[in-house]
Chains A and B, each alone.
Chain A
Amino acid sequence: MYAVTVFTQLCIYAVLTLSLNLITGLAGQVSLGHAAFFGIGAYVVGVLTTHGIPFAPAWLVGGLVAAGFGLVLGSISLRLREDFLAIATIAFNFVVVAAFLYLPYFGGAYGISGIPKPLGNAGFPLLVLATTLGVVWFHERARASDLGLAWMSLRESEVAAEAVGVDVRRFKVTAFVLGTGLAGLAGGLYAAYIGVIRPEDFGFPLSVTLLAMVAVGGMGTLWGPLAGAFVLGGFAQAFAFVHNYQLVLYGLLLALVMRYRPQGLLGKLG
């Protein structure tokens, strides 16, 4: 049973890192606020299912709402240079968490509890697995497609991408919408899986963790983000006894990998 729990958690991380990889690894747009979209998907499911709406539509709505906010952030990103964009995404994360804390219907600091888990303890992990496989499939499809190549070209040189006919603005937005929408779906799964969600679960530290997973694993590839998710995510789960030293080890790991192997443990980007 414990193995299933860990596995479910790791799959959710995997969906998150792959979705972030679309935005940051492939399209090169720094997002330090990805946890916010995870939270939006989670809260939509949390609010809707605790008011009687069945999981399936709530889940999809969660993904769509997250993608909608992703559209906003994507549009904002068009006006900002790389470093400003990073800051803007951080600010966005804080604003979203503040919204969860202070707006009505979200339960304030206590969050939302009693979120029902569909399909029972046997069926739900299968849903998570299926979703993960679906996201992997989509990620690989995108990476091998004209869209993926357009993303990578604008990541490397926006001006050259424009010169070969890539509508840089449009595809930046596409990256955000797709990446955040998938994060929203991950959020819906998380809410149902864990049953209780609180604003601080979706804060900046999680965004940093996700970016770290992608960066340490290796941005832009398939196995990089997956490795990052499983290694860093599994790290926390498996070594509960290092819980006291988790942050310092984790921070050092980040610093060391960036310092000595910036392309990530498995990646090609440098």
Chain B
Amino acid sequence: MDWQTLSALAADGLAVGSLYALTAFGLTLVYGLLRVLHVAHAGVYAAGAYAGWLAFRGGGGLGWALLAGAGCAVALGLLLEWWFYRPLQGRSPLVALIGSIGLFVAVGDLLRILFGPYQHSLPVLPPRTVVGPVSLPQLVVVAATAGLFLVVYGIATRTPLGVGWRAIAQDAEMAAAVGIPLPRYTQLAFALASALAGVAGVLVGVYYNQVYPTMGAVPAYKALAVVVLGGLGSPWGTVAAGLLLGVVESVAVAYLGNRFPPEGVAFLAMMLVLLFRPQGLLTAEPQG
């Protein structure tokens, strides 16, 4: 394998991995706080993608598309937190999980009813190459992701919000007892998670030049795999795992081609991790 091909694969892998990381990060964040798998997150992602497409249709460029995507996603995410997850907090997590799956299915189908089952293109960026084999979309995706995670890192480490999130994830009762406002911090977490997902949705639409109603399905499954690989409840593990999965998938597709479905990589890795290291590849202690 020559240098050219390798760097092309790496670029694609990093870009795709960045998208996984953006999507899955929110999932882990919410899980850490609520101990529920927010499957509807993938619906938020898809809705964000469509919002971005609408903005583009309305004449906006990449910036407007991203803003619209993030905005719509945040609105939807907050709505779900308020209407669905908060009232169900004392219940068995199975209840929220099943309902969340229902919401995901409903949102996806609603997008189909509203906008048609066909793909729509989102040609906001010309796919030309910029540096060696690296294309403009890839550059934008990786740069945007890096920028966003820098901001998130800042929030997580330097603000009371970040400290609060960690505290709630460790012991919600204790956190409440020391005065951390759980409802507000949970809302903010949903807002951030959804914003990232919305951006990811728009970027995916730009990267593959398509938005379609069931586009949330694959990220839903992949995000689960990423979250398990990185350690359920470990946000930065999730980011690392997302990038890793992206790269591994790129390489696998290049080498294995038709003989093995690319989704299989994610699921195989997930099953192996669940069997032998359920706390994730990157966390230290078993979580329970």
Contacts and interface: CB of A to CB of B under 8 A. Distances in A.
B113 interface: yes
Interface in B50-107: 83-84, 87-88, 91-107
Contacts of A30: 94, 97
Given A79-B275, A98-B264, A259 B88 contact: yes
A149 interface: no
A189 to B, nearest CB: 26
A208 B95 CA distance: 13
B94 to A, nearest CB: 6
B224 A258 contact: no
B138 to A, nearest CB: 28
Contact of B105 (A82, A245, A254): A254
A211 B99 CA distance: 11
B153 to A, nearest CB: 26
B8 interface: no
A91 B105 contact: no
A168 B172 CA distance: 28
A257 B99 CA distance: 8
A248 B109 CA distance: 5
Contact of A80 (B101, B106, B109, B274): B274
A94 interface: yes
Nearest to B227: A87
Given A88-B274, A247-B109, A254 B228 contact: no
A224 to B, nearest CB: 14
Interface string B259-285: 011011001101100110010000000
| Chain A interface helix/strand/loop/mixed | helix
A136 B169 CA distance: 43
B271 A258 contact: no
Given A87-B274, A98-B261, A262-B91, A208 B228 contact: no
Contact of A94 (B94, B102, B112, B221): B221
Contact of A253 (B83, B94, B102): B102
Contacts of A83: 31, 35, 37, 93, 232
Contacts of A82: 93-94
Interface in B241-263: 260-261, 263
A251 interface: yes
A90 interface: yes
B266 to A, nearest CB: 9
A120 interface: no
A194 interface: no
Contact of B95 (A80, A95, A102, A258): A258
The 6 lowest CB-CB distance pairs between A and B, nearest first, are A254-B102, A251-B106, A258-B99, A251-B105, A247-B109, A248-B109
6 contacts: A91-B274, A98-B264, A102-B261, A251-B107, A254-B103, A255-B84
Interface of B: 31, 35, 37, 83-84, 87-88, 91-110, 112-113, 221, 224-225, 228, 232, 260-261, 263-264, 267-268, 270-271, 274-275, 278, 287-288
